[in-house]
Structure 1
């Protein structure tokens, strides 16, 4: 966060100066400020490395952006010779033994490693930077500067620092001198006193500046009345500066603890009550009947549940065991995000204990039907009330392995609510306000609060979810709301132990073992933590893993062990893997960190009441362990248990930043041979989500957003929206909620057959979901939205459970709808409406809309194939790309082609309309395999006109002219005939009076007619005022649409962006631009074909692009059936790509060809014309093209474009400007003009600069691109 201040320039003029964090791009400007005096004072330094590793680096810049000063602060001295031991870790003992300094340690002290300033600005700049440092770090009390003996600070620093006095009798170093600066000289501790009625006039403007609600509600003199009404249970405090009250806090001991315990996870804080003999803090140990033996086939079926994440270290009485809130039999199931595991269980089940979700259910209605079918057809098998027992799948987190999930003991633990009977142990801050200048020191109120209420150990405060987090809350611990909480308040807790300033972090010792065991007693993975702890105590290394270095640290406060952390040195291969597979360089300059400075966090547990010290604990672990970067992986639920069990859930995960995974080049290894990347880059590892923190991020504040953002629908658009918010490094969203029947995609174990059952938008795959791990940041509510209460801002899920929101995002997408017979004659072309559909879908009708539906269908099919009970036909009704993929999946599952019948209705568009060759090849393969097809038929009748069939047995289809009928015995019907809006969603939207016109109506900024409700994706359409009925979000790449929606919402919360308090006005009704990202589709098609189609955003994918002025087609087709078609637009850029091949091909590479000019691709058009390119698959798989597939190539192109559009001198035109000038009155450039531009291009130095940039691009990414020769090799 930046601040604006005023001070005078050398000419006497008052200037506005901006203080902000230093960035690497500032380094060249900072180097220009270094003088001989700077070198004499601080030595020769690398500015980039200083910026990279400083805990706090601050620059001052004026209104023109010119940098006028810079300072960098570390938590250790800058002189290695200040101690005979490690100067980074042992300076505290050396400093206290040599100098008369009291109370300084690595947690409250900084060392100045560099200070530079523009001439004439040194004195005010030094004062401003020091003030900024103290305000940015409230725990900072001392700043030291170590210089060589005989060297003294310059005039600017001399006014701020004073030489530290030597301790009598101590060891006095002869090679250096220490100067110090106490905090109180610049930012003194606030003077807190009892509030007086006379403070009313000073305080009222402060309250009114923040909100006038109190004045309007309680009257103009509410504050004076509140102060006058103080008693033993309610006290008021005021902050005074220069005789004027600038802050106020009222505190009371009257709290409704029962309500708070009902709504928030207060078990780690013992319910905010004092201990009592009758407390019930752990689930009762009751005898349970024998566990139900699960069906082996069900347990081993495709969908599998992952293990529950451990909760944070709590009190010794199992404080973290509670937190499940059962709200009765009509509730829903939720999964709490992993980052909230500090105070709550990782999963909260609100289901009736007998209402677990089943693996083979297609949806809620179908579950009962499926069970009934089993009851009818398999009476000899053992059953329960609902049919065959299946593994629960709804939540990505299940119970601990020690407690089988289907036992009575597990259900008791899941629904247990701790009960506390002791007296209140807390006070609540009722009212708080403070002037902006004093806000960073708000924490100075807290010692006085506990002096007024000596019997209370906790201070709590509640704030509305829409109120931004202020400085006082930085010292508090946020309490996780329970899933049934509908209060619009966030609860924060502070323990009086947090006032202690004697937190000590040190390397672990054998004597710490019992205390550590007690601290982590409630962790599920405590055995893994203790095992690593013992390895450190005994060996300091892991003898099994090639002697991998282990470091363990403990945190102590008030003589009590309150935290333990264990990290391991990052193996060289893992460090390179992370660099090549994750965008770690968004946060660090990799080359400025030694290999041994990277570490991986395995365990971090901190007592919840000291959780706000977690970031300082991490800082000390890195300092004492001589590390600069710390990473923590989160493995998906499908990863092997032995891998996930290595890492316990850290209590400080919210302080880390999630790192995006990088797209990898698909290399032709057989062609590259020895020129392929190293094994460290190519090796296949279990996918994981990477979280990262480094030294410069320790004091980088995150803006906390407590607004409840509820996303309905796990479509690609919704997932992209959540991903964009979750991966904002400087924002922390505490209340991201997804409502979806089947939770987050990617929770199921990867299954190639299941994934091939549907066509893919090629937006995300299972590895992408694993590398995102949205379950870390997003809470999940399992169910369907059935109602929207816009007035109360609450949605209803499954008709019963309420989910409150501040902003509602509707991204449900479109789903294949159940089909019904024709109501009237075919010529009238009328179908049954959704309301006339049977209340229960026939149990052998499948609508495959997501991986869960596909898994259910394949599970149903596998059972019948195994038991040879496949009677009748498997009917695939519809003509979509998904229908073709379904046929191929059925064939690969072992279904005989003669058992599959395709019915192609006349209303469905042809997915291959853009390319007849693809359709011809696929249809020929289907015909050759023996799959029957009926074209131009609609469903007319089922089961002899039975109105509500439980199972489909006989289907009748009628031709479009009504003259022909087809009767088919039905084993199963796969419905791909119509995509539409989910009926529950439509009902909720329509009843809420949101404008619905075939689709949900929005404007260009995603707004519905309710400012708190936004929508995106194919479920939407633009207002008719746009006159763009043919265009909608369905015309664009859904990931880009989701990102744009997120950016629109970020303007409400991100302080670095212009704030939107209301929808921005639209000067013209124009549909938005969603960049140049293409639309993608891919599938496994009949005949074993792999299919890819890449195209520009279009009104309809199946429309032919116009040829002629719009461009030309280039096609290759081999004897083996491999077909590759490119469309070049009028600018000779690749506008669409179609690939069809029986052999797998590197489709991720080919997608990157979109938008490239054909000349960039080795003069593709001329080579093709000369018949030098017989096969595009081979051509684009050659090694010269690999640089185009690199994930940073598009950024590199943008960099070159900026280079050509930048003027070489103020009075000279750039290359781009020259071309534009020549083309002002011309359609194109003449031959002479082209020669003129080329000559100027070479003469201006742009050509050489471009070549240099390209070589730098290759060199910097050489670990991915070693197949290219560098100049020094020639």
Structure 2
């Protein structure tokens, strides 16, 4: 029983099935690496798997491993089927679930119904057995197609069910105009032929107004170089210059808009998370544009699909009561997280310069390259995030040396059971730098850093601004905060240290430290 609790405590994802009386019927725990007792390849399981089995489509981005499944008798098959469908439904990037077990282990009937054996690619018997189940067999991606007037009733049903006050134009006559208007591309997404969502996008927008009100400096102002007549080596037809581009300022005369806008979006409440399935379709409509943007009133609720977008800050002079969200087309590209090597130093330096950042990042990175530790001999680990081979982020973590202090001063026990974790499993974020347009890789980056570093908990302490600049470089801070939880300070006992003498608590508990902690 203790081992089962430990597995659930440290799992990347744990799912429980219960009945109407809240009685637990089944439970499953999923990790981003195989079980250690099966194969000791936690930080290099991908190479191991590809060397022994036909699993070339499995990667750290799209794969989880089933470590534990328990169920009440008689409901195992139904419960596991519901768990698998739920996991695929709520984990957007997931494509495969793997089950690795010793060769002598026989699968339970419920597992045999769900998982298929992976084909071995070697002549010798592999050190374990491998089984797989894929999304396409349990929860297919939503089908996205162009909307037609015939879809009117199904779309309006979704609008009316959600009582969308902000979708004024999605009223009877407005919806038909949007579907038929050549300035829009309207699409619906379906599940088994049933329409569960609607989206309408347009290229016709005033980028100069956005630049006036929002800080777009890190997104090239949403402009790219204009293709001029006679300069197209591929022989493609010259693109017509829109009225909007004819009135651009002089310094933008040779530039064109590099974004399209999601004007309308509505989805059935049960498909809000899965609505991200329409994003690749939208970028296919505009293959030469880099950004998808979304403009919403500031008071509007944030829909689940906006969690993939970056919120762009308003300029101090702006009086707009709207929010601007952007998404870079790299969301569909390959992401690699790995330990940094000396050859990355120049790319990291260029990344810092492009973001106008200074600080101790390169000093700590050099310390990691030289000794794998800081000047105080505390272990450091450095990891880079790459998209299509380009370094887009650097993270440096340091082994946490003050676990007892943190436990005494912050309510960490409200989030994790510390007795299940060794001291070596804790680290804090020394530096975190990521290009804003690659915000969507943040969760995967954290997950991979925890796996590759063999850590279970990451902490970040928020210091006063002046002290923060001297200790760490975090850009942008909200990326960390969105993937972590704030930990409240504990009410402290004031010890009469002089009276207690040798009976006083350890200085690890009583010493003062500046800052607050956030646990990831």
TM-score normalised according to structure 1 size: 0.38
Deviations 1:102-151 (Å, cap 9, x if unpaired)? Answer: 22112211111111111121111111111111122101111111112132
The 5 A counterparts of 1:854-933 are: none
Q: Which of 38, 56, 61 matches 1:102?
A: 56
Aligned residue number for residue 818 of structure 1 = none
Q: Which of 129, 134, 142 matches 1:182?
A: 134
Aligned residue number for residue 130 of structure 1 = 84
State the Cα distance separating 1:81 from its structure 2 match. Answer: 4.3
State the Cα distance separating 1:480 from its structure 2 match. Answer: 1.7
Partners of 1:554 and 1:660 lie apart in 2 by 31
Q: 2:481 matched to 1:529?
A: no
Of 45-54 and 575-584, deviating more is 45-54
Aligned residue number for residue 385 of structure 2 = 555
Q: 2:338 matched to 1:506?
A: yes
Deviations 1:127-183 (Å, cap 9, x if unpaired)? Answer: 1111111122101111111112132321222211111111245x6423x21111111
Deviations 1:612-646 (Å, cap 9, x if unpaired)? Answer: 2112111111110000111111212464xxx7412
> Does the CA contact (< 8 Å) of 2:359 and 2:470 recur in 1?
no
Q: Which of 306, 311, 329 matches 1:496?
A: 329
Aligned residue number for residue 628 of structure 1 = 456
Aligned residue number for residue 1056 of structure 1 = none
Aligned residue number for residue 232 of structure 2 = none
> Does the CA contact (< 8 Å) of 1:146 and 1:179 recur in 2?
yes
For the structure 1 residues 525 and 463, does the alpha-carbon distance in structure 2 shift closer, same or farther, using more than 3 Å as the test?
A: closer
Deviations 1:10-69 (Å, cap 9, x if unpaired)? Answer: xxxxxxxxxxxxxxxxxxxxx5xxxxxxxxxxxxx6122212211111112222221111
Deviations 1:990-1014 (Å, cap 9, x if unpaired)? Answer: xxxxxxxxxxxxxxxxxxxxxxxxx
Q: Which of 111, 114, 117 matches 1:163?
A: 117
Q: 2:443 matched to 1:615?
A: yes
The 5 A counterparts of 1:237-316 are: 237-275=187-225
Partners of 1:153 and 1:196 lie apart in 2 by 48
Partners of 2:341 and 2:158 lie apart in 1 by 51
What stretches of structure 2 of length at least 5 have no aligned partner?
Answer: 228-250
SS of structure 2 residue aligned to 1:473: helix
Aligned residue number for residue 649 of structure 1 = 474
State the Cα distance separating 1:424 from its structure 2 match. Answer: 0.4
Partners of 1:162 and 1:515 lie apart in 2 by 43
Instruction: Count residues in correspondence.
Output: 493
> Does the CA contact (< 8 Å) of 1:276 and 1:420 recur in 2?
no
Partners of 1:522 and 1:215 lie apart in 2 by 39
The 5 A counterparts of 1:214-253 are: 220-229=172-181, 231=182, 233-253=183-203
More strand by share: 2
Q: Which of 455, 459, 481 matches 2:292?
A: 459
Partners of 1:478 and 1:217 lie apart in 2 by 24
State the Cα distance separating 1:217 from its structure 2 match. Answer: 5.7
For the structure 1 residues 420 and 689, does the alpha-carbon distance in structure 2 shift closer, same or farther, using more than 3 Å as the test?
A: farther
Aligned residue number for residue 1262 of structure 1 = none
Aligned residue number for residue 126 of structure 2 = 173
The 5 A counterparts of 1:296-445 are: 422-445=255-278
State the Cα distance separating 1:216 from its structure 2 match. Answer: 6.7
SS of structure 2 residue aligned to 1:548: coil
> Does the CA contact (< 8 Å) of 1:270 and 1:420 recur in 2?
no
SS of structure 1 residue aligned to 2:424: helix
State the Cα distance separating 1:537 from its structure 2 match. Answer: 1.2
Partners of 1:577 and 1:523 lie apart in 2 by 34
Aligned residue number for residue 477 of structure 1 = 310
Partners of 1:217 and 1:539 lie apart in 2 by 61
Partners of 2:167 and 2:347 lie apart in 1 by 52
Q: Which of 154, 158, 173 matches 1:206?
A: 158
SS of structure 1 residue aligned to 2:121: coil
Q: 2:99 matched to 1:145?
A: yes
> Does the CA contact (< 8 Å) of 1:71 and 1:129 recur in 2?
yes
> Does the CA contact (< 8 Å) of 2:120 and 2:126 recur in 1?
no
SS of structure 2 residue aligned to 1:427: strand
Deviations 1:463-509 (Å, cap 9, x if unpaired)? Answer: 23333222221211111222333333221101111211x20100101
For the structure 1 residues 241 and 584, does the alpha-carbon distance in structure 2 shift closer, same or farther, using more than 3 Å as the test?
A: closer
For the structure 1 residues 612 and 524, does the alpha-carbon distance in structure 2 shift closer, same or farther, using more than 3 Å as the test?
A: same
Deviations 1:1198-1236 (Å, cap 9, x if unpaired)? Answer: xxxxxxxxxxxxxxxxxxxxxxxxxxxxxxxxxxxxxxx
Partners of 1:184 and 1:616 lie apart in 2 by 22
Partners of 2:466 and 2:167 lie apart in 1 by 56
SS of structure 2 residue aligned to 1:184: helix
Q: Which has the larger radius of gyration?
A: 1
Partners of 1:218 and 1:248 lie apart in 2 by 10
Q: 2:519 matched to 1:689?
A: no
For the structure 1 residues 219 and 610, does the alpha-carbon distance in structure 2 shift closer, same or farther, using more than 3 Å as the test?
A: closer
Deviations 1:274-298 (Å, cap 9, x if unpaired)? Answer: 1589xxxxxxxxxxxxxxxxxxxxx
For the structure 1 residues 237 and 638, does the alpha-carbon distance in structure 2 shift closer, same or farther, using more than 3 Å as the test?
A: closer
Q: 2:395 matched to 1:578?
A: no
For the structure 1 residues 276 and 662, does the alpha-carbon distance in structure 2 shift closer, same or farther, using more than 3 Å as the test?
A: farther
State the Cα distance separating 1:598 from its structure 2 match. Answer: 0.5
Q: Which of 498, 501, 508 matches 1:673?
A: 501
Partners of 2:316 and 2:29 lie apart in 1 by 44
What stretches of structure 1 of length at least 5 have no aligned partner?
Answer: 1-30, 32-44, 278-418, 694-1274
Deviations 1:415-463 (Å, cap 9, x if unpaired)? Answer: xxxx855210000011112223333221221222122112211111122
For the structure 1 residues 653 and 164, does the alpha-carbon distance in structure 2 shift closer, same or farther, using more than 3 Å as the test?
A: same
Partners of 1:226 and 1:424 lie apart in 2 by 22
Q: Which of 133, 136, 146 matches 1:194?
A: 146
SS of structure 2 residue aligned to 1:138: coil
State the Cα distance separating 1:250 from its structure 2 match. Answer: 1.0
State the Cα distance separating 1:522 from its structure 2 match. Answer: 4.5
